[in-house]
Structure 1
């Protein structure tokens, strides 16, 4: 627990500083997170034989596209990525099999969803929206963890993640909704229903990302995705919730609040 807290106290301010600075600094921080997450992801899906170099190249394509033209992400980025991988498939055939190509695409795109952290910052008043999604996701993670540890009785997914409980999920969702409502009051000056919906759905998305990474770790037969972050495991272990909550938060903010 001490290592977990110290890592959070050191890492969170660095991420918040990059988020505040925005621009190239945030894009560089996100690119680093994507590459580290991809390194761990490739290890988890090793049975699919993904091409490591193409996975990393794909991650850089996604982050670069978000940085250069956030308004056209992800359509243009995914098209460029598809062209890159189809070209590699043809040029290196038969060294790259279809299964390997599928694993390579998955290894590039799934961790590459962290590019939405940059896209949130690129929205009007983006610092506030990025901070809101970060805080709501962290609230879900922290309160879900402690609620489950203290009150957890009913296992939610015993075959996938035995320590996850219904009580932990409920505590995390309530914390996410409360954080989103407080953020909405700060941003809009009132308690507004779109922020309540935002907190509820981001909480659900965070849990989905967490369980998806748990499934990958069970598939690979490992406890943690990596060892980079003491007390947390790897980058995927710490940012698994954000892989789903950041994209969903980005679209919900546009559809419900900035419409």
Structure 2
């Protein structure tokens, strides 16, 4: 039944995702804001289950501000936007008349973490942006696929048993190898970024993708929940699907833009 739900979600979700990335502009912005809203809602729910009291309204406003800045100013005023978000949280905390460093830390973590979605917009604005996002998403999915099958057939040594008992070191290595090979194949077939660049990017995405997965597992374990939500049949919540993307799209953006590959 779970596999059936996963297939149904994929059949409808993947074409929609490709269409949004292709058209970019306002449709992609709306989609990113929607994912941010739903993902932050799940984050807040998990942190409340863990016994924390995040500053909800300031987090939503701050996240929309960070993503909006990326769409309008292309990240040129990102530091100033983060400063405003920080001040919003401080003001909210003071108005509650209950100073708590934990509340501040959890709130700031949530809004910065989910606002990493802004890099989808920034990556789309680069030359060959559509193909770059497609590559980042595909390589991220290959991390999960390679790790799953490698862990299933060869896994014996636990990777992080206190965080995610089912993940193995063999699975992690398999995810890295499959992702790097896929990146090289994409270089020769879809988006030529250079063989060495493809290998390095594949390595970075495979490592950060698995870190992103483990980080979300840590959040869920802290909240004592199996999934971040139940929005997507067979896939759990929004964070369950975008946990790795939140880490892999930013590194793809910086890798391509800093090295000026295009």
By the TM > 0.5 criterion, same fold? yes
**CA deviation digits over 1:124-183, x for unaligned, max 9?**
221121111111111111222233223322221112111101221122111211221122
TM-score (norm 1): 0.92
- Once residues 50 and 110 of structure 1 are traced to their aligned partners in structure 2, the CA distance between those partners, rounded to angstroms, is 14
1:175 aligned residue (170, 173, 178):
178
- Once residues 80 and 128 of structure 2 are traced to their aligned partners in structure 1, the CA distance between those partners, rounded to angstroms, is 24
Mapped pair 1:218 → 2:204: no
User: Displacement, 1:245?
Assistant: 0.8
- Once residues 258 and 252 of structure 1 are traced to their aligned partners in structure 2, the CA distance between those partners, rounded to angstroms, is 8
More displaced 10-residue stretch of structure 1: 71-80 or 134-143: 71-80
- Once residues 73 and 151 of structure 1 are traced to their aligned partners in structure 2, the CA distance between those partners, rounded to angstroms, is 47
- Once residues 42 and 108 of structure 2 are traced to their aligned partners in structure 1, the CA distance between those partners, rounded to angstroms, is 15
- SS in structure 2 at match of 1:197: helix
- SS in structure 1 at match of 2:225: coil
TM-score (norm 2): 0.91
C-alpha contact 2:66 2:115 (8 A) present in aligned 1 = yes
Unaligned runs of 5+ in 2: none
More displaced 10-residue stretch of structure 1: 3-12 or 118-127: 3-12
- Once residues 88 and 155 of structure 2 are traced to their aligned partners in structure 1, the CA distance between those partners, rounded to angstroms, is 47
- SS in structure 1 at match of 2:167: strand
- Once residues 57 and 167 of structure 2 are traced to their aligned partners in structure 1, the CA distance between those partners, rounded to angstroms, is 35
Structure 1 runs (4+) deviating above 4 angstroms are 187-191
- SS in structure 2 at match of 1:113: helix
Unaligned runs of 5+ in 1: none
- Once residues 191 and 19 of structure 1 are traced to their aligned partners in structure 2, the CA distance between those partners, rounded to angstroms, is 23
**CA deviation digits over 1:204-234, x for unaligned, max 9?**
0000000000111111111111111111111
Mapped pair 1:80 → 2:84: yes
- Once residues 71 and 59 of structure 1 are traced to their aligned partners in structure 2, the CA distance between those partners, rounded to angstroms, is 14
User: Displacement, 1:78?
Assistant: 1.0
1:111 aligned residue (101, 110, 114):
114
1:142 aligned residue (145, 150, 163):
145
Mapped pair 1:6 → 2:8: yes
Mapped pair 1:59 → 2:63: yes
- Once residues 160 and 92 of structure 2 are traced to their aligned partners in structure 1, the CA distance between those partners, rounded to angstroms, is 39
User: Displacement, 1:85?
Assistant: 2.2
